[in-house]
Amino acid sequence: MKLGIVVGSTRPNRVSLKEAKWIAKTAKELDGVEPEIVDLKDYPMPFFDEPASPRYNPDRKIEPAVQKWLDKINQFDAYIFVTAEYNHSIPAVLKNAIDYITTELNRKPATVVSHGSVGGARATMHLKEILSESRAAIIPQAVTFIGVSDAVDEEGNLNEDIKANPYGPYGALQIALVELKWYSDALSVARSKD
């Protein structure tokens, strides 16, 4: 399973990148999972201003910066979207990137790993709803992480005391990754019949 880990914040000193590195390290522990971090900072795009929804626009003219993002996101079998919680929702840059998507996530599993004052729970709820419109298969398991700033270092290493708690974020992430892998395997077979 090629796993795209999308970093949904681009501001300086963001925690999302540390969290994405932790996810990638944890994902490498599973057989058959190839994680790749996709940092939206590397895909600067203008605010979405197309005259119609990309899904219903047969004459769509895609800017090169947007095409680069769409080509990258299309490469994966499954997705984890890493988001901070800004004003009880997701960062604008993440919403903007998703607005450009048409068929790239169709029938592929996705979930959310979030952080914030309540673990990013409200951002997770919003993002799952937004992603469902992209026709991704949103899995129930998500990870909300309180205190990620202190728990994960710059290289993505999780504090050993936190890692030892089977009911903490490490255990939740392991469950999410196993679920993603299961759905990815099942859906890839189903998509191959289309």
Percent above pLDDT 90 for the chain: 93
Mean pLDDT of 155-172: 94
Give me the residue label for tokens 């890692």. Answer: 163
d(CA 87, CA 74): 29
Residues 3 and 35 sit within 8 Å (Cβ to Cβ): yes
Chain mean pLDDT for the chain:
95
Listed by start position, the domains of the chain span 2-192
Task: State yes or no: pLDDT of 135 exceeds 90.
Answer: yes
d(CA 109, CA 112): 11
The CA-atom distances, in angstroms, between 21 and each of 35, 36, 92, 182 are: 10, 9, 22, 22
Residues 10 and 41 sit within 8 Å (Cβ to Cβ): yes
DSSP 84-125: E-BTTB--HHHHHHHHT-SSTTTT-EEEEEEESTTTTHHHHH
Percent above pLDDT 70 for the chain: 100
Residue 141 CA neighbour count, 13 Å, CB half: 18
Beta strands in the chain (DSSP E): 2-7, 34-39, 78-84, 109-115, 137-138, 143-145
2-192 has which fold? Rossmann fold (3.40.50)
Q: Residue 117 has what pLDDT?
A: 85
Rg from Cα positions in the chain: 16
Read off the DSSP letter of residue 2: E
Mean pLDDT of 127-154: 95
Q: Residue 55 has what pLDDT?
A: 87
pTM value is 0.96
